[in-house]
Structure 1
Amino acid sequence: MNVDCGTNLDLKSDLGIMDSNNSKQLKDKEPGSSESNGADTSQSTDLYQYETQHFGFTPTSLINGMFNSVCDLYREALKAFAKACFEKNPTLTSVDELTAARRAVGEKIDTDICTVFDALEHYLLAQVFSIPESVVLPEDQCQLLRSSEEEGTVLEKRKTELKKKIIAVKYANAKLDQHRKQITSLQESLDDILNKLSSSDARIGQLNAEGIGDWGSFYSEMLRKATESQ
């Protein structure tokens, strides 16, 4: 994290007051990186788009704001200290010495703050503001219901096949019902023939050969007609 904290400002211009308008920016980095990668805000937003959607802010923008707030705070403190030293003892140190001392202190604070914020940024982006890939936000649940064009084609084909199977089953059921009715009717015809045969048993013994032949032909014809009618 390389930043310019404005420590080379001229003390003579404002009695040792440091310029607080030289704002610092924490460069957006990949989690775990200790050096700036030069990514701009739009790239950071794209990188953490899902997190931004969920939290309502870009994680790196929040960290940048925290970083700048800390830097502004230490600037004000260092500025007030430099001003107080100059006003209380204007002859104790020269302006150049005070400027050099201020610059050295600023560089040390820069290093410490950047080191701390590198670790903080890595922790926040990896542990706090990170949404696992397996998690689907409530507002994105509807996306799971959308079918691709290929899936739609497969489903349509499957639906057509199921329709054909349903029609085939209905046809088979109709044919089975028809056969059941035919079997029932045939059974009734056979029962009727058996009843007539039973009532004729007593008379068979009284028939001669020609009569038995006629009797067999008669009932055979009845059975044939009953079968053909089905």
Structure 2
Amino acid sequence: MFAGIRVSPQSWWGNNSRMASNQGESSATGLHPLTDRKEYETQYFGFTPKSFVDGVYNAMVEYLSDFVEVTHKYFLDDERFKEQISVEALQESSNRLFVHLRDAFDKAFDRLENYLMKNIFHIPSGIVLPEDKVHMSDPVTESMDQKLDNELEELREKIRNAQYVNCRLQKWLQDVDSVQHVLDSLLAQLQKWQMVCRESNVTDLGETISFVADRTRQLLTQCNAMKATQAERNNNVKGSRYVPVKLQ
């Protein structure tokens, strides 16, 4: 109901002047870059003090609005006040009450904000957090920087070697997959042959193959002998054939 007349924290607190003062303080410290006051405050508390204060302000203004809205609804619904005050006058009075409460709250909250920023959320310029003391007590020298560069180069070389090994392993895995595919195909054929043998009542496949091979060799020997006999007969027939002789 009263959301339309609420004022954002930035328009009431003079945000620009506070930012300028904080920046001036940070630049005047002359410490390590990590000791920037705003960054330090966020690093230590885990949130920016400005966002915390803005959140508290918005919550309080919302509570004020809810209070005025409930009060307005109470007078609007009560039968005793319907004849004594009109709806328009009640609305105007509610708006004036909200503005009065908000103005009084803004003045009080300004004092609270100044106290929080100066005494609670402010980290003095001479304070260095424990995690940043190493940057001041043990600064990085040129030799340390060169050593770090050498270590980085060694790590890059190890990464390149590892990538090469990975490529070789991937190629080897592809070859293994191809061999496995061939073996699976041979195994499937062998299982098929075993099934055929079982259906044909062949108990020992090895003996059967040996027997068939022997019989095949015997048949080949007989065929070769028959071919030799037939060739010999053909030669005999050619030798006894009559050849006419021409008379002169």
TM-score (norm. length: structure 2): 0.44
Higher relative CO (Cα under 8 Å, sequence separation at least 6) belongs to 1
TM-score normalised by the chain length of structure 1: 0.48
